[in-house]
A and B are shown apart, each in its own frame.
Chain A
Amino acid sequence: MDALLSNLALGLSTAVTLDNITFCFIGVLLGTLIGVLPGIGPLATIAMLLPATYKMTDPTTALIMLAGIYYGAQYGGSTTAILVNLPGETSSVVTTLDGYQMARKGRAGPALAISAIGSFFAGTVATFLIAAFAPPLSEIAFKFGPAEYFALMVLGMIAAVVLAHGSFLKALAMVVLGLLLGMIGTDVNSGVARFSFDVPELTDGIEFVVVAMGMFGFGEIIANLEQKEHREVFTSKVGRLLPSMQEFKASVLPIFRGTAIGSMLGILPGGGSVLGSFSSYAIEKKLSKHPEQFGKGAIEGVAGPESANNAGAQTSFIPMLTLGIPTTPVMALMVAAMMIHNIQPGPQVMTSNPPLFWGLITSMWVGNLLLVILNLPLIGLWIKLLTVPYRVLYPAILLFCVIGAYSINNNVFDVFMTLPFAVLGYLFKKLDCEPAPLLLGFVLGELMEEYLRRAMTISRGDWSVFITRPLSATMLGIALVLVVIVFMPAIAKKRKEAFAEEEG
């Protein structure tokens, strides 16, 4: 405990210097401003702003600012998910389910406020957890062999499929299609360019942002424009900004649970923050006294996943900081930023550069505090976005999307690539196929193949390895139970009724 306190004191003395706190604030502000733009998620935001930190001389300041950008962008992304139903990244897909429904019913203010409060609480707890458990927690990740990683991803996908609207088989097919789309590009093992049709740009694979923008951004715009008669107008019913006491009370437990589950799953590689928000949603729906409200604007469906999301985003730093392994695309960018400043990420950072290590960790808490201070007053401003008529808003969304797509590689190729995904997204909508599971598969495709390959190489082609290893067997067992539950006649009927109500 003494060691922890002295470490935190060292961190705090690093994080609250004038320079660092200023850049942390700038990072949070820029991150929110850009992250709030529809179709631009944390990854695109950090990628865009990364060059701005190259010129900084102190790597600690640069990393603190980048981390600030990350939280800012994440919160901004949740704002967009709630207000315009456009998730900037997979982990805020869940937020659209109930957040957007709340906005439609004039409760955008409470949704945003609860999201900010939940995120701050989760961020505080997660920061403390990182500080306390970074060294021992890394050993959990050590216990994971390739078979466990693979089993974990299967579990995550099945959980996502169970959550999706409508037909289980269709959602499962969407995950598999996502995995296949993730295969496009150069195979890391053999160096063979797969399904690239000799297009040089395709050998690097398809960007997540391109898929998300095409399917969610453009697909959504086209579908909205098509509905000529009853287009949604928010203007008349913005409602109050802060949550009522009742809403607040309803959110407290989901925030606690979301924080706990998000922190735990965030450590695990392979889309930790995604699993956290999906699992939290599933748990809240399960525990709720009125599960039929979920998907129609239940505040618990925002509070839990948003807390889990932020806790996971935070604890996903643990494997990066302690093992030097980036577990999410965002962490991969952080690793790149460290390398640029001549810091080799890994266990040695904690001992060789304690001010940087602990400074970064405490700055996470400072960043979250700044975020909540900055955003609670701005909620009114974000809501004003809703009162802009759609005919003015959608060209602007379109513009941000194309510029976002262009800025990934400074190349119009990625802009062109959004077109087939827009067509696909539209087709999916027409055929009642939920696109969120596809995105999850798409992100995990390459990792999943890699872990399957490694597990099978170690077991010499024996598939039983997944059930003879206890951790892996447990996770696959849970996945199987989930599938069985979905197919049990009583539940299948109830599920169908619940979804039918939503569509009505």
Chain B
Amino acid sequence: MRIRNHRDLWAGVMFFVFGAGFALGSLNYQVGSAARMGPGYFPLLLGIILALLGLAIFAGAFATSNEELQISKVGWWEIGLILGAVALFALVLPQLGIIVAITLLIVVAAFASHEFRLRDTIISIIVLLVMSYLVFVKGLELQFPLWPKFISN
């Protein structure tokens, strides 16, 4: 027994964990019977199906007919910066307003590119700020604070 397809192996594990998790979680709710389904019935059914599919995919990773595949390298730097930029945006928006939030989002996100250029980033920030102001604030009248609270108050 040798692992041939590492992607299938871990996909199987992932589906099994999700399936088992949902199945166990649905036991917290009333399951009922087929004729009188409780809120736990359908999720329990689906969870079991998913867990079984996960096992089948896991087993398939050892099959000799499966192709040899490794998992490609994980780009932690890119993930961290992009998700960090989004989280930062959501974090500062309510207090510091949309202008600060957009600026931070673009600056942090821009670092994720291996071809980062300061001049492009500054131009991007200006263009996107003006456009966001016109489209989202003036045009669509979306509801968010424009400036930081300590300035606008």
Contact = CB atoms under 8 A, between A and B. Distances in A.
Given A169-B56, A391-B117, A190 B39 contact: yes
Interface string A299-331: 000000000000000000000000000000000
A433 B11 contact: yes
B108 to A, nearest CB: 9
Consensus secondary structure, chain B interface? helix
Most chain A CB inside 10 Å of its own CB: which residue of B18, B33, B113, B114: B113
B12 to A, nearest CB: 9
A417 B14 CA distance: 20
Contacts of B148: none
Contact of A228 (B41, B79, B114): B114
**Size bin of chain B's contact surface:** 35 or more
B99 interface: no
A235 interface: no
Interface in A151-177: 167, 169-170, 172-173, 176-177
Consensus secondary structure, chain A interface? helix
B7 A169 contact: no
Given A222-B75, A402-B86, A176 B50 contact: yes
A222 B38 contact: no
Contacts of A453: 37, 41-42
Given A170-B57, A461-B33, A402 B49 contact: no
Interface of A: 34, 48-49, 51, 167, 169-170, 172-173, 176-177, 179-180, 183, 187, 189-190, 192, 194-195, 218, 221-222, 225-226, 228, 389-392, 394-396, 398-399, 402-403, 406-407, 410, 412, 415-416, 418-419, 422-423, 426-427, 430-433, 448-449, 452-453, 456-457, 459-463
Interface of B: 7-8, 10-11, 14-15, 18-19, 22, 25-26, 29-30, 33-39, 41-43, 46-47, 49-50, 53-54, 56-57, 60, 69, 71-72, 74-75, 78-79, 82-83, 85-87, 89-91, 93-94, 102, 105-106, 109-110, 112-117, 120-121, 124, 128, 132, 136, 140-144
